[in-house]
Structure 1
């Protein structure tokens, strides 16, 4: 029986994700709505985001090992940014346009998984952007995204 590839393998690995985020953040910096949010991002921002997505999609630990990041680190980047629904939707729109532009895997199964992840992650980013307290501690595992299975809502440990 064939094994099912990870989303990371299916998308084409790190090179494909780095190309996606590079094209995407170039669009973001030209967008009147999103530019103010991202104008001070580091030169490595798009690469770090690609590494984060790679790890979430079942790839190597490029973000946690190579970039020395964590789930808590990624959440911290959104704290206090006061994102709203209009910005969230534009972010998704530009990312999906970028995916089409670079001809990222476009089969229905992959795109469904990608859009589900973007919806989930961007909605969490909006929630976290309205606070200055990080709800995720450094020991929390990285999110893991697959082909559509759900594992229920994340409920922080209150012990």
Structure 2
């Protein structure tokens, strides 16, 4: 289940949160935007920054750095919002910066050890290794659909 249609691997969008680099399946990514002001929602959890209007669709924006307590979030010219399409629901996710798109073959993806990353292991696909680089591969579908995110109610994982 780790290979693409061509059997040559999967493409991951690499992004940074704090000092770590993460990767998510590029097929879940709809677009990447600069950070813009969001409209706060009353009573939303702190990590839900608010909502933005994306071409007429109101989408929730989650700040991963707040959600996973990765230090004080800074909003600067590198801060980006990755617009995700999760089972037909569109969600924005704030990250420190986006690096590149990387193709990983199955043998470059290792089982993630229980090493206390910000994400619990159930949301990890594994560790992607490219030379000296290490990407923590996040199962963004499962994470965004999870009860703890509270974003997509009634969707079974």
Assess same fold via TM > 0.5.
Answer: no
| TM-score for the superposition, normalised by structure 2 | 0.26
| TM-score for the superposition, normalised by structure 1 | 0.26
More helix by share: 1
Bigger relative contact order, structure 1 or 2 (CA pairs below 8 A, ≥6 apart): 1
